[in-house]
Amino acid sequence: MRLILASSSPRRRELLSALGLAFEVIKPAIDENHLDGETPIFYVTRMSREKASAVAQQLQDPQAVVLAADTIVLAADTIGLQGSDRILGKPDNPDHARQMLQQLREQPHTVYTAFRLLRLDQQGEIHLYDDLVETEVIMRDYTDDELEAYIQSGDPFDKAGAYAIQNRDFHPVSEIIGCYTNVVGLPMCAVKRGLAKFGWYGLGVSDRCDCPPYFPPI
């Protein structure tokens, strides 16, 4: 059985590699703009599904170099949400990153990751598994100097919410409630459960989150 990660995110590649699984990476080509009137949850769910479909269609192309039979495509999308409707996207520039991190300081927000597993079996039939995982995140009281040093590092600019929970220098998060790897970009506990549903055994699946816990630096 082949596993394809429909993402170019280095964080997702690292998380999946930590399971010891062999996989390939194909970046989906889709329009990621929000639709008018689209709720944040609908958006993140739609993105995961469209990413999976885009890669599956590429694999089913008669011109594809590699056969698609018995292949699982894993696609995901992650957003942060502050309050009921403020989506924490990727910052456009240093000023935008500064504004986002100032608004998040000492405040809670929620990280949502929607993912889809799409399996193409030997007969060419498609089987789907979808999940949505949420984690509450509370940011610490970082100083303005720490904030500025983090912006200067360049780390915020490809990350939703303008931060990486795993950054050891900035360590922006004081506490989480829920799955740690979900905040990184892929809830591995839930992904393992989905893979097991499709017959991928030996992953040590648990009914509860068994991802590494988050311990904020002292």
pTM: 0.90
Length of the chain: 218
Q: Answer with the residue of higher pLDDT: 68 or 115.
A: 115
- Give me the helix-helix angle, 10-17 and 188-197, nearest 10°: 60
pLDDT digit string (tens) for 11-62? 999 999 998 889 999 999 898 888 988 999 999 999 999 999 999 988 876 5
Q: Taking the domains of the chain in order of start, what are their residue ranges?
A: 2-197
CB atoms within 10 A of CB 183: 29
So which residues are the catalytic ones?
70
Class of domain 2-197: alpha beta
Q: What is the mean pLDDT of the chain?
A: 90
d(Cα 187, Cα 180) in Å, to the nearest integer?
8
pLDDT digit string (tens) for 93-127? 999 999 999 999 999 999 999 999 999 887 778 89
Confidence check: pLDDT of 67 > 60: no
d(Cα 122, Cα 143) in Å, to the nearest integer?
56
Highest mean pLDDT among 66-70, 195-199, 214-218: 195-199
**DSSP designation for 197:** H
Helix (H, G, I), strand (E, B) or coil at 108: strand
| HSE-CB of 42 using CA atoms within 13 angstroms | 8
